[in-house]
Amino acid sequence: MNFCQLIDRNYLASWHHELIAQKLENALLRVQNGEKVRLILSIPPRHGKSQLASIYFPAWALGKYPEIKFIMSTYGMELSETMGMKTRDVIQSEPYGFIFPDISLRPDQKAKAKWLTTQGGAYTAVGIGTAVTGTGANVIILDDSHKDRAEAESETQRKNVWEYYRSTLYSRLEGFGAVIVIMQRWHTDDLVGRLLEEQERLVKAGEEHDEWEVIEFPAIAHNDEYDTSTPTQRLLRKQGDALWPSRYPLDVLTNIRQTVGVYNWTSQYQQQPISAETQVFHERFFRYYDEKELNNKYLKYYTICDPAISQSDDADNTVIITMAKDADGPNIYRIREDAGHFTPKQTIDLIFKHREEYNSDVFIETFAFQKALKFAIEEEQKIRQNYFILKELKDTTKAKEFRIQSLIPLYERGVIFHKHSDIEYETELLQFPGGKHDDRIDAAAYITTALQGGSRSSKPKQFHAKSLFKRKRAW
């Protein structure tokens, strides 16, 4: 980071740039020690990946180790040449000369796409499909191997990228070396997808394989994120926080998401590509409501709690969701959702909060240890002197996947309405059945069971001007 800021006084760094810089510096040190490095950095567009990893990093590395050789590859020769030119210009700049006074370029080898240092170092820029004969590298950087959505959706183009990586680029490595893949995700079968699939296949077969370290940077955090490289595992950002809030705050990201659509947002910005081939829920199903539309409607409210078995970082979330059914029609509205790795006390407090806010029927999944949570809620009712019937959800006849699929006819008929902020929920729908998490949509799927057991109807819903959730009596 110090190097970047010395080269460019206007360089703005966030915590994710510092983490990337640490990973790159460590990768270079390992290469110098003869180790094999395979690193994937998945990061949203316009979040500083190329400037740091594809321009400043090679320049800094050649200053530290003047004999090192780089190959830089992107989706096209024009972009690769631009990267090479910018890196070359950094090395020829006055600030660089003060930092690394002994580094200079050979006068006869200073082209944008290929230049050499007087100490034996080299930088070669190539586009996907470009021949690289006669050139070796200690470090290969692939930055944005897919040009755009059209190319990423093309099976032929994806195959071309994969074959070029395997048959051309990889053969240029000298020794184990380092391969660093930097990209926004596009497709489950993009270059990153294929690299990880190939790793999994070889691991299962017990064969020698490249082991990839994957660092993902979603634009909005899926969960609390910690720096696991430090003894204290310091918190980097909390669930729901923006990756680069000074440049892309949440309101800007929300606007981007609404503009590009869930399919592009989920892959390019959240690094969770959706398989169009296996999708059962589609973005065209989604319908939205404005809170004011609920005024003067008779609504039945249902609060559903689906407790997670574990509170570990990679476990499903505990979900408490309240949905409302129009008593005079078929429409169902997603009113409020709380999801996270909650303690039992936090879960109980949220259930009471939903119940008190919406006067809802309350349902809880009760399997195994979850029965203890039901008992704890009943004991809390005595303490608070706030009593309500707690209905058990025992959908033992259906696997989770079948329960979630029960939402399909409701979406096909357009009777479920979302808020525009339901990003994580919609992501799970679009990624089903192959997504990493399905806790939110599993909880929502219980609405079909709750509707059969719900009986309460509220008075017409109205809103205070200062709150979209507070209801006032109209009688």
DSSP states of 190-218: SHHHHHHHHHHHHHHHT------EEEE--
DSSP structural state of residue 269: I
Q: Are 253 and 269 in contact (CB under 8 A)?
A: yes
Amino acid at 16: H
- 190-226 b/e (C-beta count within 10 Å ≥ 16 → b): bbbbbbeeebeeeeeeeeeeeebeeeebbbbbbbebe
Stretch 160-181: mean pLDDT: 94
The alpha carbon dihedral of 242, 286, 431, 324 has a sign of positive
- CA 307 remoteness from chain centre: 23
**pLDDT > 50? residue 384:** yes
Stretch 86-107: mean pLDDT: 93
What pLDDT is stored for residue 110 in this prediction?
80
> DSSP strand E in 199-309: where?
213-216, 225-226, 235-237, 287-288, 299-306
What pLDDT is stored for residue 475 in this prediction?
30
Element (H, E) at 58: helix 57-64
Location of structure tokens 């078995």: 309
Stretch 27-55: mean pLDDT: 95
**pLDDT > 80? residue 455:** no
Location of structure tokens 């930055």: 143
Stretch 439-468: mean pLDDT: 65
Q: Quick one: angle between helices 155-164 and 191-205, nearest 10? A: 60
What pLDDT is stored for residue 111 in this prediction?
86
What pLDDT is stored for residue 366 in this prediction?
76
Percent of the chain with pLDDT over 70: 93
pLDDT tens across 117-134, in order? 999 999 999 999 998 878
What pLDDT is stored for residue 473 in this prediction?
35
Q: Greater confidence, 261 or 123? A: 123
pLDDT tens across 178-200, in order? 999 999 999 989 999 999 999 99
Element (H, E) at 109: strand 105-110
Q: How many CA atoms lie within 13 A of 451 on its CB side?
A: 18
pLDDT band at 372 (very low <50, low <70, confident <90, very high): confident
Both ends of the chain: CA-CA distance in Å? 63
**pLDDT > 60? residue 459:** no
Mean pLDDT of the chain: 89
What pLDDT is stored for residue 402 in this prediction?
86
